[in-house]
Amino acid sequence: MRKIIHIDMDCFYAAVEVKHNPHLKGKPLGVGGPANTRSVLCTASYEARKFGVRSAMPSSQALRLCPQLILVPPHFDLYTEESRKVREIFERFTNKIEPLSLDEAYLDVTDCKQFSGSATLIAQEIRRLILAELNLTASAGIAANKFLAKIASDWRKPNGQFVVRPQDVEAFIKDLKVEKIFGVAKVTAKKMHELGLFTCADIQNLSLTQLQAWFGSRAQELYEFSRGIDEREIITEWERKSLTVEETFNTDIQTLEDCKTHIPALYADFYQRLIKGEYEDRIRGLVVKLKFFDFKSTTHEQVFQGIPSEQDFARLLDSAWSRRHVAVRLIGLGVRLSTQNKVGDQGLTSQLRFAI
């Protein structure tokens, strides 16, 4: 049986801002652009959340809910730096690490010998080190697979952890809302509700054949996830096949020009992840993805090597847009990566060094 830990930092961007400006501690804080623009909040401190302030909420709305809200602009370089330090702590326990974003990662500690191999104690120690060394708090979920671990990390948030033992899986999963199942987004959730399916127990009651009739190729994974079964392995940075960033908009974007105004922010996010993951030398292709107002999507790809510029993505966006010329609700951009093995690459690097 595997031992998986999912770590999720608490109100990450806000916590990093407080760390760098201690006078913000204990205050309602939002990270995002000013209220007189169309910007939305990246996140909010727990003090602000008491007023109903949430991630992705327009700053103006957040200020209406919480007039004393302190708004600070995001500092992505600081978040990247803290994220790197958190990762260094993870690496003391395992090298099977799958980052999901700057503030979230899966760790496979099955082979970790520390703390007699107790994943619960390892998670506790990781959280203790994050607090002691970085002055930040994290929450953790511990389980035999990624799906359960991720859900569990939300259970004792903030600054807590929750273990799903094998004998508890059945009870843990049965009341879980279908929205929590990995890969079930708004559209599928709505369909499930219309079919009278609200919890994992409701899905468990269906045969695989019935699931296939309703959900096609996704039936098998729904069958398994709804029973708390998830065989997905941890995918380390080296095994990663692509890197993409995307943004869903509150209101559909009507024109190509408006789409292009979102490229700089997406590109900044993409570039930071590219550098952080040290993927620069592995780029083999560019990708732009658009999801349209009717939820249909298209991806446009181009063979590419080197580091793409904003203009490279803008050109690809032109081609993707020209396929339909209709309003867009999501833009994604990214790169395909080669997955040649690390040993080979290291060999090459050391040969070059030797040559110099």
- Angle at alpha carbon of residue 121, lines to 15 and 137, rounded to 5°: 5
- Which one of the spans 2-10, 160-168, 238-246, 248-256 is the region binding Mg ion (CB under 5 A)? 2-10
User: Where are any strands of DSSP class E within 233-276?
Assistant: 242-253
Give the Cα separation of 198 and 190 in Å (integer). 10
* CB-based contact 271:264 (threshold 8 Å): no
Give the Cα separation of 107 and 6 in Å (integer). 6
| Cβ-based nearer residue to Mg ion, 8 or 47 | 8
Cβ at position 44, least distance to Mg ion in Å: 12
Q: Choose among ligand TTP, Mg ion, none what residue 199 binds, the Cβ cut-off being 5 to 8 Å by kind.
A: none
Cβ at position 137, least distance to ligand TTP in Å: 9
- 246 part of the active site: no
| Cβ-based nearer residue to ligand TTP, 58 or 285 | 58
- The binding track of 98-117 with respect to Mg ion, each residue x by CB under 5 A or -, is -----x--------------
Q: Choose among ligand TTP, Mg ion, none what residue 160 binds, the Cβ cut-off being 5 to 8 Å by kind.
A: none
| Cβ-based nearer residue to Mg ion, 8 or 230 | 8
Kindly name the residue from 47, 82, 98, 104 that is annotated as catalytic: 104
Q: Are strands 70-72 and 29-32 parallel, antiparallel or unpaired?
A: parallel
- Which one of the spans 96-104, 171-179, 196-204, 262-270 is the region binding Mg ion (CB under 5 A)? 96-104
Q: Choose among ligand TTP, Mg ion, none what residue 13 binds, the Cβ cut-off being 5 to 8 Å by kind.
A: ligand TTP
CA neighbor of 28 nearest in space, from 66, 57, 61? 66
| Cβ-based nearer residue to ligand TTP, 94 or 153 | 153
Q: Choose among ligand TTP, Mg ion, none what residue 55 binds, the Cβ cut-off being 5 to 8 Å by kind.
A: ligand TTP
Give the Cα separation of 209 and 111 in Å (integer). 38
| Cβ-based nearer residue to ligand TTP, 45 or 145 | 45
Q: Choose among ligand TTP, Mg ion, none what residue 56 binds, the Cβ cut-off being 5 to 8 Å by kind.
A: ligand TTP
> Taking the chain, what is the end-to-end CA distance rounded to the nearest angstrom?
47
Nearby residues of 147 by Cβ (< 8 Å), 6 or more positions away: 181, 182, 225, 228, 230, 232
CA neighbor of 234 nearest in space, from 152, 146, 102, 122? 146
Q: Are strands 104-108 and 4-9 parallel, antiparallel or unpaired?
A: antiparallel
Binding footprint of ligand TTP on the chain (CB under 6 A):
8-13, 42-43, 55-56, 101, 103-104, 157-158
Binding positions for Mg ion, rule: CB under 5 A: 8-9, 12, 103
- Which residues belong to the active site? 104
